[in-house]
Amino acid sequence: MNWKELHEKFFTTLSNHKSLLIYIKGSPDPDVIASSWMLKRICEKSDIKAEIFALKKPSLPQNRAIIEKLDIPIYFEDPGMNMGRFDGYAVLDFQSAYLKGISEKLPCVFHIDHHEPVHEDIDVECKISSGAVGAASTIMAMILKESRFAQDEDLMRSIGTALVYGIQTDTDNYKHARDVDFEALSFLSRYSDKEIINKISGIPLSDGMVDMIGKAIRNKIVYKGWLIAGVGLIKESVRDSIAIIADFLLQEEGVSTVIVFALVETRDHKGLVLDASFRTEDRDLDLNYLIKRITSEGGARQYKGAYQVNMDYFVHCPDRELLWQTVSVTTIEVLKKQRDNIYIAELKGVYNKFRKKIISFINRGVVLFVGVTLLGFLFSCGRKSVVNRSITPVSGSAVEVKNDGCAVIRSRLVDVAAEYVDEKMWEQFLKQRVFIKQRSKEDAGIRYPRLQFFQLMVSNVSDRAVRISEIALAYGNQKKNRSHLMS
């Protein structure tokens, strides 16, 4: 990310405004608290009025403590009545920038986030969204680092501690921090109060949470390396504990992914929502994709995610135990199905990683495309024809085709998942000169034969090593074995 450019965009946008509503969506965690506060402080230093509003109070004691200890001004109320005071609003550390009742009246000035970006029809004056950083606080710190405020001792001392704590919690105590997070931390560390941070993150777990952990351990099931645990009906005030318990259970041996779920009673027993929290150590698992396949009311970034299902209607169910049993068996069934079809989500994760790697190779001028380009001539078709062709797998006795076009072949030893990668997904690739074979001036920019890309994942499902003795590509009567392919 080009921080110099982003910092210019940020401050140019800011200078066009006189007053800003900073809105915390969801439950306030250290990352959103710190980044919102930094925005407010920068506004004040630039003679712009700014107020932070949140509808929910933080349910974790350490999140309440950071607000109290650092004296962070947040209004825990609906900003509705005060909206006239602002000429724009900002949403930080949240996938969606849409605010019901506010987006219709005020322009969205800033949307700064580090979750996987989602597409939405909302104009944002300055949108900074990247899944490649560990925390929104990292983005804010990197912008600050480029600015003239980096030398402002008073400002840096007031927000340094909060930003460090924000990065620390969102990267699971630096376990998942990346280079850019460490860069931000080294810039901030001089201004942060370690004693406060240690004191706050060392706060012991509350009684309610200990109960929930006990329940999770008693109810857990382990299915093909996934640990799934329901913790029953809980109050909204302890909702954040679901994620903490998932973190805790991930330490268990032989478990790569943990899902903890609960029925949460909201709005003084008037509302009901199923809340499921995901944690994974599987680098290749595209959690965001997996969760979106279950419901659109959820999402993820690398290693963690969550989804919600509104159950308000069932608030009238007189038998709470029966209701929980129904929710519990259904959720376990849904998750087991996802586990059975994990190859698709893993494929997505591998693809994302592979794409990033290739692009960084291109940027360094290294060309390593043999594996991808060699498929080109085999599947070439269409030439100058105007007929649109598509490539779709055909289901058969051995081939199972998923809705999204992924073909899975299962056998005693291995499962093979194959997916066609369309040109739109490979846009980035096709823009690179190396893929464009120029025949003549008129042809410039179009490569013949056209390249077709496939990604293939082979998973060993046996408990022994499987030897692959031959790799061949077959198409009609033609067959190419590996030595042909390499030549």
- Which residues are at the interface with Mn ion (CB under 5 A)? 31, 93, 136, 170
Give Cα 86 distance to the centre of its chain. 30
- Reduced to 3 states (helix: H, G, I; strand: E, B; else coil), residue 471 is coil
Q: What is the DSSP string of 167-184?
A: HHHHTTTTTT--HHHHHH
- The H-or-E segment that residue 356 falls in is helix 342-364
Shortest Cβ 242–Mn ion spacing (Å): 17
- Reduced to 3 states (helix: H, G, I; strand: E, B; else coil), residue 450 is coil
Measured from the CB atom, the residue of 136 and 327 that comes closer to Mn ion is: 136
Q: Do 238 and 59 form a contact (C-beta atoms < 8 A)? A: yes
Tokens 């969506």 label which residue? Answer: 25
Query: What's the number of CA atoms in the CB half-sphere (13 Å) around residue 94?
Result: 22
Shortest Cβ 15–Mn ion spacing (Å): 26
- Reduced to 3 states (helix: H, G, I; strand: E, B; else coil), residue 273 is strand
As a whole number of angstroms, the distance between CA 362 and CA 144 comes to: 30
Instruction: Provide the token pair at 16.
Output: 């066009």
Measured from the CB atom, the residue of 29 and 275 that comes closer to Mn ion is: 29
Measured from the CB atom, the residue of 280 and 331 that comes closer to Mn ion is: 280
Which residue pairs, CB below 8 angstroms and at least 24 apart, start in 112-115?
Answer: 112/35, 112/136, 112/139, 112/140, 114/138, 114/139, 114/170, 114/301, 115/288, 115/299, 115/300, 115/301
Shortest Cβ 110–Mn ion spacing (Å): 15
Q: Do 160 and 190 form a contact (C-beta atoms < 8 A)? A: yes
Measured from the CB atom, the residue of 93 and 275 that comes closer to Mn ion is: 93
Instruction: Provide the token pair at 45.
Output: 């230093």
Measured from the CB atom, the residue of 170 and 181 that comes closer to Mn ion is: 170
Residue nearest to Mn ion (CB): 31
- Which residues are paired to 229 by β-bridges? 260
Measured from the CB atom, the residue of 31 and 181 that comes closer to Mn ion is: 31
Shortest Cβ 95–Mn ion spacing (Å): 10
Shortest Cβ 31–Mn ion spacing (Å): 3
Measured from the CB atom, the residue of 31 and 275 that comes closer to Mn ion is: 31
Shortest Cβ 148–Mn ion spacing (Å): 26
Shortest Cβ 302–Mn ion spacing (Å): 12
Shortest Cβ 306–Mn ion spacing (Å): 12
As a whole number of angstroms, the distance between CA 31 and CA 38 comes to: 11
As a whole number of angstroms, the distance between CA 92 and CA 163 comes to: 13
Shortest Cβ 167–Mn ion spacing (Å): 9
- Which residues are paired to 309 by β-bridges? 274
Measured from the CB atom, the residue of 137 and 331 that comes closer to Mn ion is: 137
Measured from the CB atom, the residue of 305 and 393 that comes closer to Mn ion is: 305
Checking DSSP bridges between strand 257-266 and strand 49-54, what pairing results, if any?
unpaired
